[in-house]
């Protein structure tokens, strides 16, 4: 007897497909429920039925960001050099952040007061982290670096996130070359320091 439902999972998908480019184009402050509803040719109450609240909406964009990053990893190909492959994945994260700075802020920072990614949402990056752990493991197996693969992945991800955040904010340097140089220095130093038989590294265990 009622009318046909329009607030379906299909609408949800359409909204999300509109949301990501709109976030990137309009920035955090331009990302409002009303504007998104208008742009997706629906109403604000529809958004609230589909996503609960603004935080739920941002949460889905957050998840979509990690899916996009993971998809970018699929375009990378393995080489015989495990260390180069690990450097490559870090470079892929860097270029992702440069291509999608606002989305990256949602993923790695907390620009929306309504959405605080907690430990639950950590799992969203799980598939991303798995990929990195895989490449870390190959380095460990090859004897390029030593230690616990999870710990090392965390460290490399933190370093990458810190560098990307600083580059994004324009703090890492003014010229392209100095920024590149610092990226290279950081990544190489970290990998070298994680390598085997570095005398001082033994301190970490004691």
16, 46, 97, 106: residue in contact with DNA (rule CB under 7 A):
46
Q: Is 18 in the site for DNA (CB under 7 A)?
A: no
Q: Which partner, a second copy, DNA, none, binds residue 175 by CB below 5 to 8 Å per kind?
A: none
Q: How far is the CB of 31 from a second copy (least distance, A)?
A: 9
Nearest residue (CB) to a second copy, 46 versus 61: 61
Nearest residue (CB) to a second copy, 29 versus 75: 29
- Give the chain's end-to-end CA distance (angstroms, integer): 73
Take residue 88 and report the two structure tokens written for it. Answer: 């490559």
Take residue 63 and report the two structure tokens written for it. Answer: 């998840």
Cβ neighbour number for residue 195 with a 10 Å cutoff: 16
Count CA atoms within 13 Å of residue 202 on its CB side.
Answer: 3
Q: Is 101 in the site for a second copy (CB under 8 A)?
A: no
Take residue 19 and report the two structure tokens written for it. Answer: 């949301």
Nearest residue (CB) to DNA, 102 versus 152: 102
Nearest residue (CB) to DNA, 29 versus 75: 29
> Quick one: DSSP state of residue 53?
S
Take residue 54 and report the two structure tokens written for it. Answer: 């603004």
The set of residues, in sequence order, having a beta carbon less than 8 Å from that of 58 and lying 6+ positions away, is 31, 106, 112, 114, 115
Nearest residue (CB) to DNA, 6 versus 192: 6
Question: How far are the Cα atoms of 8, 47, 54, 95, 206 from residue 101, in angstroms, in the given order?
Answer: 30, 24, 20, 10, 40
Q: Is 151 in the site for DNA (CB under 7 A)?
A: no
15, 20, 23, 54: residue in contact with DNA (rule CB under 7 A):
54
- 153/85 Cα distance (integer angstroms): 14
Q: Is 157 in the site for a second copy (CB under 8 A)?
A: yes
Summarize as ranges the residues that interact with a second copy (CB under 8 A): 27-29, 105, 108-111, 113-114, 117-119, 122, 125, 147, 151-152, 154-155, 157-163, 165-166, 169-174, 178, 181-182, 184-186, 188-195, 198, 200-201, 203-204
Summarize as ranges the residues that interact with DNA (CB under 7 A): 1-7, 31-35, 42-46, 48-49, 53-55, 114
């Amino acid at each position: 007897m009622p009318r046909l439902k329009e607030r379906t999972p299909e609408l949800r998908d359409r909204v999300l497909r509109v949301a990501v480019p709109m976030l990137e184009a309009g920035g955090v402050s331009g990302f409002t429920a009303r504007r998104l509803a208008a742009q997706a040719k629906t109403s604000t109450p529809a958004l609230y039925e589909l996503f609960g609240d603004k935080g739920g909406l941002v949460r889905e964009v957050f998840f979509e960001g990690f899916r996009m990053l993971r998809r970018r990893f699929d375009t990378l190909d393995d080489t015989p050099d495990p260390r180069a492959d690990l450097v490559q994945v870090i470079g892929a994260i860097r270029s992702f952040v440069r291509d999608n700075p606002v989305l990256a802020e949602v993923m790695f920072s907390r620009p929306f007061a309504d959405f605080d990614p907690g430990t639950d949402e950590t799992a969203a990056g799980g598939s991303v982290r798995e990929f990195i752990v895989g490449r870390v493991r190959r380095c460990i197996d090859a004897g390029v670096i030593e230690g616990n693969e999870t710990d090392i992945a965390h460290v490399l991800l933190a370093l990458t996130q810190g560098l990307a955040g600083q580059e994004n904010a324009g703090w890492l340097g003014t010229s392209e070359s100095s920024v590149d140089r610092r990226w290279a220095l950081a990544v190489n130093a970290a990998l070298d320091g994680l390598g085997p038989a570095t005398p001082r590294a033994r301190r970490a265990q004691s």
